[in-house]
Chains A and B, each alone.
Chain A
Amino acid sequence: MKISEYSEKQLVDLLKRGHLLLSLKPFVTRVQSDIVSIARDIALMYGDFETCPIDSFADFHVSVVQETGILGWMKPRARFYFDGRPSFVPLPVDQAFAMLEWGLNWCIAAHSHQYLVIHAAVVEREGRAAILPGAPGAGKSTLCAALITRGWRLLSDELALFDMETSVLYGTCRPVNLKNTSIDIIKQFAPQVVMTESVADTTKGTIALMRPPTGSVSMVESPAHPAWVVLPRYLPSAPPKLESHSRAETFMLIAEQSFNYDIHGANGFNAVGNLIDRSQCYEFTYSKLEDAVSVFDGLCLGRIG
């Protein structure tokens, strides 16, 4: 049964009892929460996702719970629990859904060693994946959000799951994290997108999440073959510029941006090497999303590279 098939009341009830098993392929997450706004945001963002029967195996057991006591009453705060243990500092309750998203990212990054987990956005077209690593603020989520409104499939805006045996990429196709000015930029670029309410004053500034496209969610189990690694850099007023980037330097960046590269030892080294062998590597400077989409379409059509 899909999330969109539940009423809000049913979702609230399932969450309260810890009976919501969300299928985030290839993972299953059991979510528990007493915060009503989380039910609303799950309905808004995860409508196309399947749930699993209550007795299914869950990879991650997470809760986001409102803190009790006088302090909790004066200044409502929410706390994230993983396997029943409190994790991370409590945050204002209006950040509860963002906290769930960040907590899920951590669950996947810290525990999914069957993959090389790379901190990067990944989009796909015609079976070929563009991997967009980059430091916070480089514009990877904004670029990813723009591309998935123009024919590219979303694998992930945050975590690329690289299968080291088959050298293909997966993603969980979860909501896209947008920050600060990116929120309005994407609203103007693609007015049809669905977003959560913006939440101000988080550690990342103002944030909003964007619903993943239905077509991408339905293809979540289809892998993509690495074809391009593009290091994006947003630069105000800059014309679009795509330049070749050294494969060895890109290797080092991907290794650095992988959460579990060190754990995999020689296998991790070979995996990153295989990914780089299969990819054209670029640096991409841009200021306008329309230009960026044209450049990426050019890459896909073989007009560039």
Chain B
Amino acid sequence: MPEREREHKSIQWTVPSSDSILLRVWDDGLTVVYNDVSGDTHLLSPVAGEILCLLKSVSHSSESLLLELEEAFSAQDKQSALDAIETVLSELENINLVSSAQN
């Protein structure tokens, strides 16, 4: 298995204090999220909102997120879809909504 693919599978993403995360999603898919730990409110793209929703209930690797979000990334090849998901995860990590751990 190539190293990059191993990484996709071995890193698990999670919402560290999921009870402290409140979400609202409306028709256009844009999501607002409140983090009761930091007191911050964020506006998220539809994909970021969906990823956060998934991670709120159970931890995922980027590979397993891609399986869940297949429809949203159907127009892209697997690698660029994984890259896009990891960009979103890294943005969510930067604003302290998700964290990662090696399996």
Q: How far is it, in angstroms, between the C-alpha of A262 and the C-alpha of B35 when the chains are bound?
A: 12
B43 with A252: CB separation less than 8 A = yes
B31 touches A266 (CB 8 A): no
A249 touches B43 (CB 8 A): yes
Q: Contacting B24 at CB < 8 Å: which of A249, A262, A265, A273?
A: A273
A248 engages B41 (CB within 8 Å)? no
B32 at interface (Cβ–Cβ under 8 A)?
A: yes
A161, B32: Cα distance in complex, Å = 22
Q: Decide if A276 touches B41 in the complex (CB within 8 Å).
A: no
User: Within 8 Å CB of B25, what residues of A?
Assistant: 248
A248 x B34 contact (CB < 8 A): no
Which residues of chain A have C-beta atoms less than 8 A from B27's C-beta?
A: 247
Contact with A along B1-41 (1 / 0, CB 8 A): 00000000000000000000010111110111010100101
Whether B22 lies near A251 (C-beta < 8 A) is: no
- With A270-B22, A273-B24 already in contact, the answer to whether A265 and B30 are too (CB < 8 A) is no
Q: Is the CB of B41 within 8 A of A255?
A: yes
Report which of A246, A247, A249, A252 forms a contact with B41, defined as CB distance below 8 A. A252
* B20 and chain A: residue at smallest CB distance: A266
Partner of A266 from the list B28, B36, B43 (CB cut-off 8 Å) is: B36
- The prevalent SS among residues of B at the interface is strand
A247 touches B34 (CB 8 A): no
Quick check: is A57 within 8 A (CB to CB) of the other chain? no
Inter-subunit contact B24/A251 (CB<8 Å): yes
Q: List residues of chain A with CB within 8 A of the CB of B36.
A: 265-266
A265 to B39 alpha-carbon distance, docked (Å): 6
B36 to chain A, nearest CB (A): 5
A contact face: mostly helix, strand, loop, or mixed: helix
Residue in B22, B28, B32, B39 whose CB lies within 8 Å of A252: B32
Do residues B39 and A248 form an inter-chain contact, with CB atoms below 8 A?
no
Q: Which residues of the partner chain B approach A246 to less than 8 Å between Cβ atoms? A: 26, 28, 30
Contact (A269, B22) CB under 8 Å given A252-B41, A252-B43: yes
Question: Distance in Å from the Cβ of A15 to the closest Cβ of chain B?
Answer: 42
Cβ-defined contact, A248 with B28, below 8 A: yes
What 1/0 flags go to B51-62 for Cβ under 8 Å of A? 000000000000
A281 and B31 CA atoms in complex are apart in Å by 15
A251 and B34 contact, Cβ closer than 8 Å, known pairs A269-B22, A269-B41, A276-B26: no
The digit string for A248-279, where 1 denotes a CB below 8 A from any CB of B, is 11011001000001100110011001001000
CB distance from B95 to the nearest CB of A (A): 14
- Which of B22, B26, B43 has the largest number of chain A CB atoms within 10 A? B26
- When chains A and B are docked, how far (Å) is the Cα of A249 from the Cα of B43? 7
Contact B39 A262 (CB under 8 A): yes
In order of increasing CB-CB distance, the 4 nearest A-B pairs are A248-B30, A269-B34, A247-B26, A273-B24
Q: Return 6 A-B CB contacts under 8 Å, by A number.
A: A246-B26, A247-B27, A247-B30, A248-B26, A249-B43, A252-B43
State the A residues within 8 Å of B (CB). Answer: 246-249, 251-252, 255, 261-262, 265-266, 269-270, 273, 276
List chain B positions with a Cβ less than 8 A from chain A.
Answer: 22, 24-28, 30-32, 34, 36, 39, 41, 43
Known contacts A249-B43, A266-B22, A276-B24, then 20 further A-B pairs from the complex at CB < 8 Å, ordered by chain A residue? A246-B26, A246-B28, A247-B26, A247-B28, A247-B30, A248-B24, A248-B26, A248-B30, A248-B32, A248-B43, A251-B24, A251-B32, A251-B43, A252-B32, A255-B41, A261-B41, A262-B39, A266-B36, A269-B24, A273-B24
